[in-house]
Structure 1
Amino acid sequence: MSRWLKKLLFGIWGVLLVPLIAPAVKKWLEENIFSDPEGMATAAFRDAMATPVFSYFLALGQQPWFKLALVFLTGIVAGVSLEWLSRRSDEKKASELRSLGWKFRSLSESIRTRTASSGWPDSVPDLKPALLSVLSSARKFELWVPNEHVYQLPDASFLCEYLRCVGRLLEDGDFSEARREALSWRPFLEKGARS
């Protein structure tokens, strides 16, 4: 829905709310502002403006079509608001998944570079917190990840490939394919960790 159409819809809905709050506002004005017969506000506004305006809004609120229109527009406004919140939530989740994909791929490269020169897992003790953090974040999105037994693998090649492949799919925004890819690595990462 376009921005100007949303503003128009919310504006009309706001105008329809005025007859609902008009009696309360009129009562408050009569008790607080117009209660002093000698006051300036009473002399200037009471008969000239306030009473006809509130009478108009009270009469509008009594029209048979008014409640139907208000309920109808309230439903539309609630639907538009829920759709906007859902879209915003989906955009935030997509952004977090792209960021997670970048972290996966970055970690894969770091592990690959470090283990090329010396053994696994002795060459990456400082990367363990980052790896655990990334894997924990992936679990929150219900993505299969290896557990801490991954450090018992004979080498890091499967782990690096897992991180690289799944990370690329997450960065591309293909979450369902990333989920399938992660599950396809499960036998390799769990089997190697047990032996």
Structure 2
Amino acid sequence: MSKWLKQFLFGIWGLLLIPPITPVLKKWLEENVFSDPNDVATTVFRNAVATTAFDNLLALGEQRWLKFAAVFLTGVVLGVSLEWLSRKSDQKKASELRSLGSKFRSLSDSLKIRTASPGWPDNVGDLKPAITSALGSARKFHLWVPGQHVYQLPDASFLCEYFRCVGKLLEDGQFDKANREALSWKPFLDNVTLS
């Protein structure tokens, strides 16, 4: 929905709400503003125009069509607002998943460099906090992630390829494929650790 159409919709909705809230406004004004008969505000606003305006708004607020229109438009406004919030939430989640994909790819590159030197898993001690953080973030999005036993493997190739494959799909915005790809690594890790 375009921005000007939303503003128009909210404006009409606001105008439709004026007659139903008029009795509350009138009572509040009488109790707080017009309570002193010698006050200037009471003298100025207690004329026929103000009384007529309030009476007309009260009469308009009693019309069935206005009540229906206000309820109907309230539903439309709520629907539009919920749709907007949902879209914003989905956009935020997509952005976070793409960022996670970028982290995965970066970790994959870092692990690939470390794979050439012996000493796994001791040679990635400085990367372990970043790996743990990335895997925790993936868990938050319900992606399957390898556990700590991944460090018992003979080398980092499993983790490197997991990060590369899943990260690429996340970066490309293919979240369902990334989830399936992550799950496809589980049997391999289970078989390797059992042997």
Normalised by the size of structure 2, how large is the TM-score? Answer: 0.95
Matched position secondary structure for 1:35: coil
Q: How do residues 24-63 of structure 1 correspond to structure 2 at under 5 angstroms?
A: 24-63=24-63
Quote the residue 1:135 is aligned against.
Answer: 135
Distance 1:101 1:114, change over 3 A: same
- Kindly provide the amino acid, as one letter, of the partner of residue 13 in structure 1: W
Quote the residue 1:117 is aligned against.
Answer: 117
CA contact (8 A) 1:101 1:169 kept: yes
Whole-Å separation in 2 of the counterparts to 1:2 and 1:170: 30
Aligned-residue RMSD, C-alpha: 1.2
What are the Cα deviations for residues 112-167 of structure 1, in whole angstroms up to 9, with x where unaligned? 11221233111001111211111111111111111110001111112101100100
Corresponding pairs, count = 195
What are the Cα deviations for residues 20-47 of structure 1, in whole angstroms up to 9, with x where unaligned? 2111111111111112121111111221
CA contact (8 A) 1:146 1:190 kept: no
Whole-Å separation in 1 of the counterparts to 2:115 and 2:135: 19
Higher mean C-alpha deviation, range 181-190 or range 68-77? 181-190
CA contact (8 A) 2:115 2:157 kept: no
Matched position secondary structure for 1:126: coil
Quote the residue 1:87 is aligned against.
Answer: 87
Quote the residue 2:108 is aligned against.
Answer: 108
Normalised by the size of structure 1, how large is the TM-score? Answer: 0.95
Quote the residue 2:20 is aligned against.
Answer: 20
- Kindly provide the amino acid, as one letter, of the partner of residue 176 in structure 1: D
Shift of 1:70: 1.0
Q: Could you list the runs of 5+ residues in structure 2 that have no partner in the other structure?
A: none
Shift of 1:189: 2.3
Q: Could you list the runs of 5+ residues in structure 1 that have no partner in the other structure?
A: none
What are the Cα deviations for residues 152-183 of structure 1, in whole angstroms up to 9, with x where unaligned? 11111121011001001001110000011111
- State percent identity of aligned pairs: 70
What are the Cα deviations for residues 86-112 of structure 1, in whole angstroms up to 9, with x where unaligned? 001000100110010011111111111
Shift of 1:48: 4.7
CA contact (8 A) 1:102 1:171 kept: yes
Quote the residue 1:78 is aligned against.
Answer: 78
Whole-Å separation in 2 of the counterparts to 1:56 and 1:15: 14
CA contact (8 A) 1:150 1:190 kept: no
Higher mean C-alpha deviation, range 9-18 or range 180-189? 180-189
Quote the residue 2:67 is aligned against.
Answer: 67
